[in-house]
Structure 1
Amino acid sequence: MYLREAGNVDGPVLVLIHGGGVAGWMWRAQIEHFAARHRLLVPDLPGHDHSHGTAFTTSAAVVAELVAHLDRLPAGADVTVVGFSLGAQIAVELAATHPELVTRVVVVSALTRGVALAGLGDRLVGLTAPLARQTWFARLQAKALFVPDDLLDDYLRTSKALPKDSLLALTRANSAFRVPPAWRTFPGPALLLAGGKEPRALREGMRQLGRDHANSELVVHPGAGHGLPLQHPEWFNARLGDWLRRHL
């Protein structure tokens, strides 16, 4: 799995985990904003962009690989894990199952209650996967994900190279995700961010995620859809930066 490193090598670590169908490039505004102070670790998940040659299988496999990377950091490293959508599910699982490696966690727009009719979802993904290689369809998807024009080429490249098997696997992983019981006992603080225009099930799940963790803070942007870091990067960076200053 490709992992980009950037920023201040001596600073506290900020791990940025992207969502399904995009890649590490989605965090460009955050990389530029936090690089002076933080050491940034930005993976391309299996199947995506620089990691398109490695199949996405399960979120647990991704967590295991991230654990291997974090194990290489100096002992006692200060690590904040930030995840969006599929990456937010991975961030929750990583923090809950390996609290010794994660100091604090930021969960952005995680689906926590699963999706019904998963078999139908497989068939729909199978039917639409070839369209992702068509520029016109990829442009429509990019608009739905709030990908800005200056990142459109990155999205088109990532979308066209994402293998069908990886797309099916990550869709299944997203729909099957359940919050680990150990989330309740994660000792670090948690920041939960969501858009007010996201699906109701997602918003309710994020609220429950907050209720299940005593040291959490939920902030909702009333005008945002499912794409908060891309749709409102300045707002996102301000909320994250303020929270980090209070918890570092």
Structure 2
Amino acid sequence: MHTNQYGPESAPPVLLLHGGGVAGWMWQSLRRSLESRHRVIVPDLPGHGESSSEEYISHSATVNALADLVLQRVGSPVAVIGFSLGAQLSIGLAAQHTPLVSRVMVVSAQAKPMALSGLTLGILCLSAPLARRSWFARLQARQLFIPPELMEQYIDSSAGITKATLTAAVGDNLRFALPENWSRFPGQALVMVGQRERRRMRDSAAAIHAALPGSDLEVVDGCGHGIPLQRPEWFNARVSAWLSQE
């Protein structure tokens, strides 16, 4: 799994997990705001970005690969911030490899399995070739609030996603349910969702929060699905404040 690292190796480590269809570049603004005070670890998940030659197999396989990454590259517990697909993985990492996670921020995670996931996945796979078309990628980028300076990277990332990766990643995304051990995660947890996101996403955030006593739920006014990119300055400040909490 291709991974970039920024900041002093002796600083507190932060692992940033991007969403589906993008790559580690989505964290550019946040990474720059953190790297003077934190060791920032930014992987491109399998099948995405610089890891596009490595097919996405499953959420479970990716969580285990991320656990290996933390053990080999860091060797101590990390703060994990995940968005969308990455948010589901952050839950899995915190629940299944608890000693490796000091705290977790879950941003826009779906946690209510879709009854017609097979049909939805089939429709997405039929439209997969369109992702290689610049005009289609630009339309999709609007939903994630991709800024102009990152548009070409989004188009390249979108074009590099194979049908196999799309099927595996989106399939597990649509079927995702909270792991049992999530309710026993002992570290700090912040669950975040945009006030203008789909009802399923807002209900998912409420369910993730309810399943973990002591977690915090934050509904971000005026935001859709793409908080880190829609309101980067606000999000960066919010992350910095959260990381500094005792």
Bin for the TM-score computed over the shorter chain: over 0.9
How much has 1:116 moved relative to structure 2?
2.3
1:163 aligns with 2:162: yes
Contact 2:13–2:74 (Cα < 8 Å) also in 1: no
1:228 aligns with 2:227: yes
Equivalent in the alignment of 2:28: 28
How much has 1:72 moved relative to structure 2?
2.0
Distance, in Å, in 1 between the alignment partners of 2:215 and 2:122 is 37
Equivalent in the alignment of 2:189: 190
Equivalent in the alignment of 2:16: 16
User: RMSD over aligned Cα, in angstroms?
Assistant: 1.1
Contact 2:77–2:99 (Cα < 8 Å) also in 1: no
Distance, in Å, in 2 between the alignment partners of 1:15 and 1:127 is 33
Query: SS in structure 1 opposite 2:9?
Result: coil
Pairing of 1:104-183 with structure 2 (within 5 A) = 104-183=103-182
Pairing of 1:63-102 with structure 2 (within 5 A) = 63-73=63-73, 75=75, 77-102=76-101
Pick which of 146-155 and 214-223 moved more.
214-223
Per-residue Cα deviation, 1:110-166 (whole angstroms, up to 9, x for no partner): 000012212212221121100000011011011111100000010000011111110
Distance, in Å, in 2 between the alignment partners of 1:86 and 1:114 is 13
Change (3 A) 1:219 1:136: same
Aligned AA (1:9): E
Distance, in Å, in 2 between the alignment partners of 1:169 and 1:245 is 36
Aligned residues: 246
Equivalent in the alignment of 2:41: 41
Distance, in Å, in 2 between the alignment partners of 1:158 and 1:196 is 27
Contact 1:7–1:39 (Cα < 8 Å) also in 2: yes
Aligned AA (1:46): P
Per-residue Cα deviation, 1:49-107 (whole angstroms, up to 9, x for no partner): 100000001011111111111112555x2410110001000000000111111111010
Contact 1:7–1:31 (Cα < 8 Å) also in 2: no
Contact 1:12–1:78 (Cα < 8 Å) also in 2: no
Aligned AA (2:17): I
Distance, in Å, in 1 between the alignment partners of 2:35 and 2:143 is 28
Contact 1:47–1:54 (Cα < 8 Å) also in 2: yes
Aligned AA (1:93): G
Distance, in Å, in 1 between the alignment partners of 2:77 and 2:112 is 30
How much has 1:35 moved relative to structure 2?
0.3
Change (3 A) 1:74 1:157: closer
Contact 1:11–1:39 (Cα < 8 Å) also in 2: yes
Distance, in Å, in 2 between the alignment partners of 1:208 and 1:127 is 31
Contact 1:112–1:205 (Cα < 8 Å) also in 2: yes
Distance, in Å, in 2 between the alignment partners of 1:169 and 1:125 is 12
If the length of structure 1 is used for normalisation, what is the TM-score?
0.96
Equivalent in the alignment of 1:209: 208
How much has 1:45 moved relative to structure 2?
0.8
Distance, in Å, in 1 between the alignment partners of 2:63 and 2:55 is 14
Which sections of structure 1, spanning at least 5 residues, go unmatched? none
Change (3 A) 1:125 1:78: same
